[in-house]
């Protein structure tokens, strides 16, 4: 374990520059020079990583690192690009900061809090509060502000509140743009699911299995469990098991040791190690191979992982899995282990698809996303749907569920600055596949064709099963453009 000093470069204070902004020299009164002069050696640091947010700052960061290494012999200083497109975007800066810190999850991390923008400082604070890593926030007091005329090093202590930091941030953000809707709308049909999820959250270490179609909000439900548990201040890591090749999935989940395979140039922790003390969410769990099923079963039974090329390591992680696959059927077919299935579904939760939630709730969610996307996209006024467009949307089955509805509204905000009409809706919505249609004629067509298939193409038996005349059935099939092969026609002639 290394002891690292982490900081953003102080572009305005670390350097002496011309009025036009050109580099002259490193400022010996700047925060980083002063830190190395007075505190680096005493702090016992193995390395200082200087972060810079834009490729345009690379020259400045490199000169600062070279200067510090040159003046203070034996001080290890590296500069690293952590690119941020918008330095006043809390969401972007925090996400980038989290990713960087998680790469160094096994190290002791002292964060030099002072340099950087106010958003960068706030992001450090949030990461310190929520990631559960070995972090410390430190800052310096210049000699001119010190009571004894020398620079001082201070730790920024944090007094924990019973209100989660994430809740405070959400509330502030929404009120700041004039909207009071929550980020996620829990309607009547799923309120019971969230009540059960809260009970799961209160029972630590219990595994949970969330079922539901793609786009129904399984990851959000998993996050809800995490955020309402004793693990809420530790990491939550989501992994889509279907998105990774199985050999890659093993190394990403369990990590690997240096030299374990070609390209393994250093010890690398896996997601389970990074989530230690927190929660790992394994989506599409039904797609993992038998070998991965065995490895995961070991984690659940023994509470330990084995990095590739390494020895077993104990981990403390709550596992929440999710799937839209019929696991029981897969178990009967011997493609999924029964013992793993029973380990996963200790607490089972199921989210209904959007179609099952009914038109009333679809209308509520439609209005919710119209308000939410107005705030997210900083639009001056709410998007207007004309009567026909609104009715069309409410009749659409949304096979992609909540995710499809949310993406639709965001797309309409982009392309329809005024009022939305039916012609503004995506073609895929206006030309709904018959199997997804709610129109009676389409439902009838699908049912007739399904029965015809069950009767192996025998029209007479199909008509009997449907309780209609044979001529009526033939007329329907003709209107559908369904052609029967000669063998079936001859069979019917013989039968008549």
| pLDDT in the model for residue 36 | 93
| pLDDT in the model for residue 141 | 79
| pLDDT in the model for residue 163 | 39
Q: State yes or no: pLDDT of 171 exceeds 70.
A: no
| pLDDT in the model for residue 129 | 86
What is the residue whose two structure tokens read 């620079």?
151
Average pLDDT over residues 222-237: 90
Q: Which domains does the chain have, with CATH numbers?
A: 3-155 (3.40.50.10770), 188-350 (3.40.50.300), 355-436 (1.10.8.60), 440-495 (1.10.10.60)
CB 448 within 8 A of CB 477: yes
Closest to 228 (Cα-Cα) out of 300, 318, 315: 318
220 vs 239: CA distance, rounded Å: 13
Tokens found for residue 342: 């029973």
384-385/419-420 β-pairing = parallel
Reported as a single tens digit per residue, the pLDDT across 172-229 is: 332 223 333 346 788 889 999 999 999 999 888 789 999 999 999 999 999 999 998 8
Query: Cα 61 to chain center, whole Å?
Result: 32
Q: State yes or no: pLDDT of 32 exceeds 90.
A: yes
Reported as a single tens digit per residue, the pLDDT across 472-495 is: 888 888 877 775 443 444 445 445
Q: State yes or no: pLDDT of 92 exceeds 90.
A: no
| pLDDT in the model for residue 402 | 93
The DSSP letter of residue 9 is -
| pLDDT in the model for residue 476 | 82
Backbone angles phi, psi at 178, to 5 degrees: 85, 10
CB 303 within 8 A of CB 316: yes
**Which of the two residues, 393 and 184, has the higher pLDDT score?**
393
367 vs 394: CA distance, rounded Å: 11
Q: Is the Cα torsion angle 475, 480, 481, 483 positive or negative in sign?
A: negative
Q: What percent of the chain has pLDDT over 90?
A: 46
Strands (E), 217-371: 236-240, 279-283, 304-305, 313-314, 318-323, 347-350
423 vs 201: CA distance, rounded Å: 45
Average pLDDT over residues 265-274: 89
CB count, 10 Å around CB of 51?
Answer: 23
**Which of the two residues, 95 and 134, has the higher pLDDT score?**
134
Element (H, E) at 15: strand 15-17
Least confident of 20-34, 238-252, 307-321, 355-369: 238-252
């Amino acid at each position: 374990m290394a002891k690292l000093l982490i900081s953003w470069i102080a572009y305005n204070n670390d350097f002496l520059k011309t009025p036009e902004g050109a580099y002259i020299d490193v400022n010996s009164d700047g925060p980083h020079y002063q830190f190395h002069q007075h505190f680096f050696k005493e702090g016992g640091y193995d390395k200082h990583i200087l972060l810079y947010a834009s490729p345009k700052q690379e020259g400045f960061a490199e000169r600062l690192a070279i200067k510090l290494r040159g003046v203070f012999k034996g001080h290890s200083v590296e500069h690293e690009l952590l690119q941020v497109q918008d330095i006043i975007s809390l969401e972007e800066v925090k996400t980038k900061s989290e990713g960087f810190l998680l790469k160094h999850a096994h190290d002791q991390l002292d964060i030099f809090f002072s340099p950087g923008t106010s958003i960068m400082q706030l992001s450090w604070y949030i990461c310190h509060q929520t990631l559960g890593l070995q972090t410390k926030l430190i800052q310096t007091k210049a000699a001119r502000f010190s009571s004894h005329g020398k620079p001082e090093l201070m730790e920024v202590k944090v007094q924990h509140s019973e209100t989660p930091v994430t809740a405070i941030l959400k509330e502030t953000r929404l009120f700041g743009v004039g909207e009071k809707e929550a980020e996620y709308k829990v309607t009547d049909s799923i309120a019971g699911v969230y009540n059960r999820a809260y009970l799961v959250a209160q029972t630590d270490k219990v595994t949970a299995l969330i079922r539901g179609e793609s786009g129904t909000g399984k990851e959000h439900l998993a996050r809800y469990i995490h955020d309402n548990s004793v693990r809420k201040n530790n990491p939550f890591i989501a992994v889509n098991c279907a998105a990774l090749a199985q050999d890659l999935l093993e190394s990403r989940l369990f990590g690997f040791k240096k030299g374990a395979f070609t390209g393994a140039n250093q010890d690398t922790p896996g997601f389970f190690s990074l989530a230690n003390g927190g929660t790992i969410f394994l989506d599409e769990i039904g797609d993992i191979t038998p070998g991965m099923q065995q490895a995961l079963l070991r984690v659940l039974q023994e509470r330990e992982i084995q990095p590739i090329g390494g020895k077993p390591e104990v981990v403390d992680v709550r596992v929440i899995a999710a799937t839209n696959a019929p696991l029981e059927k897969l178990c009967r077919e011997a493609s999924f282990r029964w013992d793993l299935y029973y380990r996963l579904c200790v607490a089972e939760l199921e989210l209904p698809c959007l179609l099952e939630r009914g038109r009333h709730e679809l209308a509520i969610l439609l209005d919710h996303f119209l308000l939410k996307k107005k705030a997210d996209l900083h639009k001056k006024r709410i998007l207007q749907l004309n009567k026909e467009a609104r009715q069309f949307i409410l009749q659409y089955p949304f096979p992609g569920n909540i995710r499809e509805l949310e993406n639709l509204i965001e797309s309409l905000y982009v392309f329809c600055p005024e009022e939305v009409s039916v012609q503004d809706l995506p073609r895929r919505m206006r030309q709904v596949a018959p199997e997804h249609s709610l129109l009676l004629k389409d439902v009838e067509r699908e049912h007739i064709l399904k029965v015809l298939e069950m009767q192996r193409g025998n029209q007479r038996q199909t008509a009997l099963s449907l309780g209609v005349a044979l001529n009526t059935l033939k007329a329907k099939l003709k209107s559908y453009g369904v052609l029967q092969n000669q063998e079936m026609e001859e069979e019917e002639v013989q039968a008549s």
